[in-house]
Every structure is written in C-alpha cells, then in structure tokens.
Amino acid sequence: KNIMVIDTDCGVDDALAIMMAVSHDDWKVLCITCCYGNVNLNQVCQNVMRTLVVCGKHEVPVYKGCEKALVSNELLGSDYHSKDGFGGVASEFPTDCLQLASPEHASNVLVRLAREHRKHLVVVALGPLTNIAVAQRLDPEFTKNLKELVIMGGNINGFGNSYLAAEFNFASDPEAANILLKEAECPVTVIPLEVCHKYALDWNWLDDWRKTDTPRGYLVQKMTEHSINRARNIPGCNGLHLCDLFAMCVVVNPRVIVKKDEKCVYVELNGQLTRGMMVVERRLTHLPYVTNNVFIVMEFNKTELLKMFKKMIL
Ligand code: BDR
Ligand code: CA
C-alpha cells in the first residue's frame, strides 16, 4: 500500500479530504498531524477525531502540533467553516472519547515517520505549513526522506481569500511556506486556490450529493450546510469551494490531473498588501538563477473528481 500522513487544520474541506483518504483502498493513512488554522489547535484535533469516528477509523493516530505560526502573531481564522470549524455541527458528532495517540509533537512524528519510511512517505499539507517547516528545521534531511510533499495552498494570479492577495494557508504562516518551497528536497506538488475555485461544485450537483443516505453522507449533508448557505449569498460565487478535498484527490488518484506545470515559485514575505502571496516566475527569458521548485496542478478532470466524491460517501 501507498502511505501518507495528513497535516491539517481541520475545517470542512479538510474533513472531507480525510474521509477521501481513509476510504481509499490503495492508501494507508499512517497518522494525522494537527495544526492551528481554521480554528484553534484543540478544536482542530477534535474535528479530526469526529471525522475518523464517522468513517469508522478509530485506529488512525492523531497528534498535536503547533499552536501558532513561526513569526506571524495574528491568527487569521475566519467564519468560513463556522465558529467550530465544522460547519457549526461539531457537537452533533461526538469524538467517542478518542484521545491523542501520545504527547509526541506532530513535527517530531513527521521527522520520525519520514526516517522510518525513507522515500516512501507522502505528506499532504492541508493547513498552514508550520508543523512541516518545523520538521524541516528539526531534521535538515526531513524532506529528502519524503517521497512527495503535496500542498493545498498558494495562489497563482494574486487572488486572495483571507488576505487581499494571499491564500489562507500561505497567509497564515508565510515563513513556513517559504522554508518549504525554498528548501524541499523532494518533489513538491501545489494545488493553488484559483484552480480549486475554477472547479467549484454547483448547487444542483451538491443537492443531489447531499441526499446520500449513509453515515458519511449524513456528515457531508450536515457539515456543508453552513458553507453552502454562505456561498450562495455571495454575488457571483459559482459554487462551493472544497480545496483540500481536491488536493487529496490529486494524491490518491493522479488521473484527476489534466495539466500540471513545473514552475519556480516564491512566497512574498514583506509586502504590505501581498504578504503570503505565491509569486510564479513567468518570464520567458531563460535566467540561470531560476530553478523550478514545484509542480502546479492547473487543470482537473471534473468528471473523475465527481465520481470520486460520490464513491467516498457510500
Ligand atoms: C484553505 O483554507 C482553509 O480554510 C481550507 O481548509 C483550505 O485548506 C483554502 O484557502
Ligand atoms: Ca485546510
């Protein structure tokens, strides 16, 4: 089996991504590491556990990581996933007294597992990149030991969601994103914000999806209601955005990728309006100091994605 660790700030789309990962036969989720982000760290851990309970995967270990960014003091969080990060329905889904696997810190766990499974482990980053950047600082060989790092985050055209010009996960900890994009010694795949938004799920499809009468279907129905109501009231919004779920599909089924570009990208650290923005090198002239550092997923096969979404809740 292929193996992954999911690093998450468990909001609604993270929970769906976890559901996708644990329901895939070809993949084993070794553990889930938690990071502050959509909500505070404790709430994130609880949301991960609720998701695992609904999926019947009590055995997947959950670890706690960083509570704050490396440098930024401001916690962005937003109402996007509602106050509890779980579409406002967290209390309806108990954690069945699931506990953290141990007090071992998420970043230590990442370092340990990367060493134990040299070149076989895929790390899927669905939140601010703090835990993963700390792992890289704890062990400079950390990313060298990975098979791949897949990141939901960053933007390609300066379109922001939490800040004017930056995507939430990068904006939450620009220094962490910068460390990884600069230093990672494994293949890095980025699923940027605008590409996820382009494939928003339309209202009719969602209505149908949310009628699926299974325990997982019920969670999807409840958990997405808040975001759907919110998005429907935003003029011009083309549907529901579930970025982390898309990123997970890229991991478990690369056939969903129609186009990916190898590029050189940077993270803006100082801009007054652009801090956290991902800047893509697009100059046509060959510049000797420009080295590609990421694969950016640019186009999806939507039919294949929708098929996967339906299957994961059966
Ligand atoms: C990212 O921000 C979070 O709110 C989502 O869970 C996703 O990881 C999208 O910008
Ligand atoms: Ca997330």
DSSP secondary structure of 177-218: HHHHHHH--S-EEEE-HHHHHHTPBPHHHHHHHTT--SHHHH
Active-site annotation, residues: 9
Task: Indicate if the pLDDT at residue 98 is higher than 90.
Answer: no
- Going from the Cα of 109 to the center of ligand 1, the distance in angstroms, rounded, reads 23
Q: Please tell me the predicted confidence (pLDDT) of residue 198.
A: 96
Look up the pTM and report it: 0.97
- Going from the Cα of 202 to the center of ligand 2, the distance in angstroms, rounded, reads 21
Task: Indicate if the pLDDT at residue 155 is higher than 90.
Answer: yes
291-313 pLDDT tens trace: 999 999 999 999 999 999 999 99
Out of 7, 8, 9, mutate this one to test ligand 1's pocket (max ligand atoms within 8 Å of CB): namely 9
Q: Please tell me the predicted confidence (pLDDT) of residue 285.
A: 81
Q: How many angstroms separate the CA atoms of 232 and 237, rounded?
A: 7
ipTM: 0.99
- Going from the Cα of 160 to the center of ligand 1, the distance in angstroms, rounded, reads 11
Q: Please tell me the predicted confidence (pLDDT) of residue 284.
A: 83
Answer whether 172 contacts ligand 1 (Cβ < 6 A).
no
CA torsion 69→74→79→80, rounded to 10°? -50
The amino acid at 250: V
Q: How many angstroms separate the CA atoms of 210 and 181, rounded?
A: 37
Task: Indicate if the pLDDT at residue 73 is higher than 80.
Answer: yes
Hunting for tokens 């990208």 — which residue is that? Answer: 265
Q: Please tell me the predicted confidence (pLDDT) of residue 101.
A: 85
CA atoms within 13 A of residue 220's CA, in its CB half-sphere: 27
Task: Indicate if the pLDDT at residue 79 is higher than 80.
Answer: no
- Going from the Cα of 232 to the center of ligand 1, the distance in angstroms, rounded, reads 18
Q: Please tell me the predicted confidence (pLDDT) of residue 193.
A: 98
Out of 243, 245, 277, 278, mutate this one to test ligand 1's pocket (max ligand atoms within 8 Å of CB): namely 243
Q: Which ligand is nearest to the CA of 76?
A: 1
Q: Which ligand is nearest to the CA of 151?
A: 1
Indicate the SS3 state at residue 239: coil
